[in-house]
Copies of this chain bind each other. A is one copy, B any other.
Amino acid sequence: MPSDEQSIIAVNEAFYAAFAGRDLTVMEDLWAQSRPISCIHPGWGALHDRPSIMASWASILTGDEAPLIRCEHVYVRVADTAATVVCEEVLGDSRLAATNGFVYENGAWRLWHHHAGPIARRVTPKPKPLLN
């Protein structure tokens, strides 16, 4: 049986696979259904309702500039039925810092928050990624 950390990493990876694969159906399934959700795209104000969030993903995933994105440097923390993943999103030569919040819902970990923004500078050396 996978640990919570492994399950959350798998859902986080599925999120970026749906993102890179422009798969809106999977993207919608990855978000919590029974809990409020929120999403902050780079430079956007926060979206707090499911229709706006899914419309934003539809726009991003079907646009001409849908990003070839991948995820690196994944850190996971779990506290009972919620978890926070901090990672870096790589798009060509650009990197973004991302926060992905997960909640345990009906037997599975689902996204309840996403926040990403560009990294303009690095202040300290990058520590080795850890599960913590």
Interface residue ranges, A against B (CB under 8 Å): 35-36, 38, 40, 42-49, 52, 56, 73, 75, 77, 79-84, 86, 88, 95, 97, 99, 101, 103-104, 112-113, 115, 117-124, 126-127, 130, 132
Contacts of A113 in B (CB 8 A): 77, 84, 86, 99
Determine the residue in chain B with the shortest Cβ distance to A80: B80
Bound CA–CA A49/B52 (angstroms): 35
Known: A43-B121, A75-B46, A97-B115. Contact between A84 and B82, CB under 8 A? yes
Contact of A40 (CB < 8 Å), options: B42, B81, B86: B86
* Tally of this chain's copies: 2
Whole-angstrom distance between the Cβ of A87 and the nearest chain B Cβ: 8
Bound CA–CA A119/B43 (angstroms): 5
